[in-house]
Structure 1
Amino acid sequence: MEECNKGHNRNRDLVESIKKIQRFGFEVMAGFIVGFDNDPPNIFDKLVDFVNQSNIITAMVGLLNAPLNTKLYQRLKSEGRIIKLMTGDNTDFSTNILPKMDLNMLIEGYKRVVKTIYSPKVYYERIKKFLLEFNPPQPKFFHYRPEYTKAFFKSLFLLGLYSKERFQYWKLFFWSLFKKPKLFPLYITFAIYGYHFRKIFEKHSMKINHCDS
């Protein structure tokens, strides 16, 4: 927190703070960065635990990069730790700095975090825990759009029949339908989110593996 100049978040229970926000009907979307100078070797396990304990569904994780003309860029440049310009894509496993942590350890740890938090078993369990505590106000009007129906049936075929996660998909499908029917559309949305994040991760993993070979 201190390294990011976010001292205001230090003296509080962040997991409980996030759950309190969720109980009031707000979804917390969070961004995380690994690769800071003070990150310990167990930062990856801590990050996985935090995401799962706080039931954050949309967790965007990236490697630390130094944008041009920032204080971070100037400091690392003076230390000889800028190796290239950043790509601007925080999902492509790249960084433009030389971290203090071993670079291979950093990249492998980052990949492990993303692979773990979006693995079907872990991800769908996190959705279930979120739906149990989430208490949104009921909207007065429902604005139907044709693309909602299209997305729903596409998820049935893509996630329910052809994907590796179909067991978890159907298990939570019926649980949310009967236990949390008012949140059922949100469940379908989250299921699609997870599939999207896994596909992005797999795409970049294949690129990295191809380059390594």
Structure 2
Amino acid sequence: VFVGIETTEEESLVECGKFQNRNRDLLSSVKKMQEFGLQVQGGFIVGFDHDKPSVFRNMIDFIQKSGIVTAMVGVLTAPTGTRLFLRLKKEDRIVSDFSGNNTSIMTNIVPKMGMKNLVDGYYKILNSIYAPKPYRRRVITFLKNYKPNSIKHVRPFADSVKAFLKSVWVLGIRDKGRMNYWSLLLWTVFFRPSLFPLSVEFAIYGYHFRKSFSFGMLVESDTQSPSA
């Protein structure tokens, strides 16, 4: 299920009119859905006028602790004709047409925090959550909390075996983050063996995300990787 969480900042939730997300424990809400067998995919936005410099670290920590494996993070943009667009146009903060791509750094507004701060913070989030080690930790966080009503695999058995063997070659041998691949699979075998196919699937997703967001080297270090 895709959930528009948008932001962890209360003032920014007010700014974007996401009142149903206010005054609640968002982390507990996500975990409750996972406990009922739902895989939560989250939508997040940075660049609100009320966002403080801490918003980037707060978002990284929330994504890691929540176990949201697929986190779609975008920068604030103003679709033509919306209240946001009209307000920013009056403030002379619209710089281009709306592209429709909400996972691109190419926003059409002048952010209050400054474009450099927004770009740097956006890259910091993606570098942190999709680097191999924090991604592996986040998948494990999800698998610990996930309680599906039933385990059904619709993919044909032969296709599943082929995908697994290819993942072993690409992720378990060739990829620089291979130790995280093996750590994830071994953890799953010992603690959630029924979810092994899902674990392999998430490992492949992680590889895809790293390639899709290849705006530069995904740096993994103790200082950048969240501890959650």
TM-score over 0.5 for the alignment? yes
Shift of 1:87: 2.8
- Report the Cα distance in structure 1 between the residues aligned to 2:25 and 2:174, rounded to whole angstroms: 41
Q: Identity, % of aligned pairs?
A: 48
Residues 91, 142 of structure 1: CA spacing in aligned structure 2 closer, same or farther, 3 A cutoff?
closer
1:91, 1:201 within 8 Å by CA — same for their partners in 2? no
SS in 2 for 1:56: coil
How many residue pairs are counted as aligned between the two chains?
204
Does residue 129 (structure 1) correspond to residue 157 (structure 2)? The answer is no
Does residue 152 (structure 1) correspond to residue 164 (structure 2)? The answer is yes
User: Residue 180 of structure 1 corresponds to which residue in structure 2?
Assistant: 192
2:139, 2:202 within 8 Å by CA — same for their partners in 1? yes
1:143 to 144, 147, 154: 154
1:42 to 13, 35, 54: 54
Return the structure number with greater helix share.
1
User: Residue 105 of structure 2 corresponds to which residue in structure 1?
Assistant: 93
User: Residue 41 of structure 2 corresponds to which residue in structure 1?
Assistant: 29
User: Residue 111 of structure 1 corresponds to which residue in structure 2?
Assistant: 123
- Report the Cα distance in structure 2 between the residues aligned to 1:128 and 1:164, rounded to whole angstroms: 20
2:66, 2:141 within 8 Å by CA — same for their partners in 1? no
Shift of 1:23: 1.0
- Report the Cα distance in structure 2 between the residues aligned to 1:168 and 1:177, rounded to whole angstroms: 14
Residues 113, 142 of structure 1: CA spacing in aligned structure 2 closer, same or farther, 3 A cutoff?
closer
2:75, 2:104 within 8 Å by CA — same for their partners in 1? no
Shift of 1:144: 3.5
Unaligned runs of at least 5 residues, structure 1: 207-213
User: Residue 169 of structure 1 corresponds to which residue in structure 2?
Assistant: 181
User: Residue 66 of structure 2 corresponds to which residue in structure 1?
Assistant: 54
SS in 1 for 2:213: helix
User: Residue 195 of structure 1 corresponds to which residue in structure 2?
Assistant: 207
- Report the Cα distance in structure 1 between the residues aligned to 2:165 and 2:58, rounded to whole angstroms: 37
Q: CA RMSD in A?
A: 1.6
Shift of 1:161: 0.8
- Report the Cα distance in structure 2 between the residues aligned to 1:77 and 1:142, rounded to whole angstroms: 50
- Report the Cα distance in structure 2 between the residues aligned to 1:78 and 1:156, rounded to whole angstroms: 55
1:72-91, aligned counterparts within 5 Å?
72-91=84-103
Q: Deviation string for 1:133-192 (max 9, x for gaps)?
A: 1110114x6434254333222211111111111001011112212321110111111111
* TM superposition score normalised by structure 1: 0.90
- Report the Cα distance in structure 2 between the residues aligned to 1:142 and 1:128, rounded to whole angstroms: 20
The farther-off stretch of 148-157 and 126-135 is 148-157
Residues 205, 75 of structure 1: CA spacing in aligned structure 2 closer, same or farther, 3 A cutoff?
farther
Residues 24, 124 of structure 1: CA spacing in aligned structure 2 closer, same or farther, 3 A cutoff?
same
2:47, 2:118 within 8 Å by CA — same for their partners in 1? yes
SS in 1 for 2:99: coil
* TM superposition score normalised by structure 2: 0.84
Q: Name the amino acid aligned to 1:31.
A: G
Shift of 1:37: 0.5
User: Residue 11 of structure 1 corresponds to which residue in structure 2?
Assistant: 23
- Report the Cα distance in structure 2 between the residues aligned to 1:42 and 1:181, rounded to whole angstroms: 38
